[in-house]
């Protein structure tokens, strides 16, 4: 999932605002107690999300895929006084841990954490979104995009994580394309060809596709 050398990555982290004790604790607990801890956003991606929120100044953020709450905390930190983060996840086994992390962050009043199927929850949400972060099951990336695109405010952004899919998107001769890789390729092409947005794919961690609604 990392596309630069460990030394260069360390240099980048050393020259980015330091990961504070709370986020370090969230990361340690995730690695110690949760399956597939590599799914956590981590320092550089988390700080990128926080700064994007501060630059965009959204009133409402929708996060699809809470996991253990690292990215949610980062985005909530960037919100203004009246900002709100709605974060959705289907895994209720992590609920106690995640709510504890949110409580310790002091940001619970800005975070609306909901459990269930995002495909069913999103249509029930009121209002539009100024920012959407998609980081959930790859099978539904295109469905999530289609559910939110018309509800993103002009100038708002949709960010999708894992769009480089550990480098599998660069096809090699004879490479067998698995289902998830195929969906990521389709998602990237869809965004690239969508006249409603302007977009950039950044090689941060496993890739962030940022699409700005025109």
Residue 188: which CATH number? 3.40.50.150
State the virtual CA torsion across 191, 196, 202, 205 in degrees, nearest 10: -60
Kindly tell me the burial class for residue 202, based on how many C-beta atoms sit within 10 Å of its own C-beta (0-12, 13-18, 19 or more): middle
pTM exceeding 0.85? yes
Q: Which residues contact 83 (CB under 8 A, 6 or more apart)?
A: 53, 57, 58, 59, 60, 61, 76, 110
Token duo for residue 18: 């330091």
DSSP state of 195: T
**16 found inside a domain:** yes
What share of the chain has pLDDT > 90, as a percent?
Answer: 95
Tokens of 6: 């460990």
57-91 residue pLDDT tens? 999 999 999 999 999 999 999 999 999 999 999 99
Q: Is residue 133 part of a domain?
A: yes
pLDDT of 42 over the 80 cut: yes
User: Is the pLDDT at 19 greater than 80, yes or no?
Assistant: yes
Q: Where are the alpha helices (DSSP H) in 122-178?
A: 141-148
CA–CA distance, 23 with 14 (Å, rounded to integer)? 16
Please state, rounded to an integer, the average pLDDT across all residues of the chain. 96
Query: What is the pLDDT at residue 4?
Result: 86
Residues paired with 87 in a beta bridge: 63, 113
Number of folded domains in the chain? Answer: 1
Give the β-pairing of 129-134 and 111-115. Answer: unpaired
Report if residue 160 sits inside a domain.
Answer: yes
Give the structural domain span for 174.
6-213
pLDDT at 2 over 80: no
Q: What is the pLDDT of residue 64?
A: 98
Confidence of residue 172 (pLDDT cuts 50, 70, 90): confident
66 found inside a domain: yes
194 alpha carbon, distance to own chain's centre:
20
Let me know if residue 95 belongs to a domain: yes
Residue 161, pLDDT above cutoff 80: yes
Predicted local confidence at residue 62, as pLDDT = 99
Question: Would the pLDDT of 189 be above 80?
Answer: yes
Q: Give the residue-averaged pLDDT of 35-59.
A: 96
Residue 1 falls within a domain, yes or no? Answer: no
The answer on pLDDT for 21 being more than 90 is: yes
């Amino acid at each position: 999932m990392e596309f630069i050398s460990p030394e260069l990555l360390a240099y980048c982290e050393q020259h980015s605002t330091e990961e504070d004790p709370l986020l370090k604790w969230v990361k340690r607990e995730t690695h110690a107690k949760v399956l597939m801890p590599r799914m956590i956003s981590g320092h550089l991606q988390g700080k990128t999300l926080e700064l994007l929120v501060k630059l965009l100044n959204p009133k409402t953020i929708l996060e699809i895929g809470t996991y253990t709450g690292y990215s949610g905390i980062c985005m909530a930190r960037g919100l203004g006084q009246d900002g709100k983060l709605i974060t959705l996840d289907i895994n209720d086994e992590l609920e106690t841990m995640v709510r504890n992390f949110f409580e310790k962050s002091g940001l619970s009043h800005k975070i609306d954490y909901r459990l269930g199927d995002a495909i069913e929850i999103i249509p029930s949400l009121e209002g539009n979104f100024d920012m959407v972060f998609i980081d959930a099951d790859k099978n539904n990336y295109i469905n999530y995009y289609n559910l939110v695109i018309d509800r993103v405010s002009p100038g708002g952004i949709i960010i999708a994580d894992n769009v480089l899919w550990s480098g599998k998107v660069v096809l090699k001769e004879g490479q067998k394309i698995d289902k998830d890789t195929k969906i990521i390729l389709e998602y990237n092409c869809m965004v690239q060809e969508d006249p409603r947005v302007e977009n950039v794919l950044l090689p941060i961690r496993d890739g962030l596709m940022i699409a700005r609604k025109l």
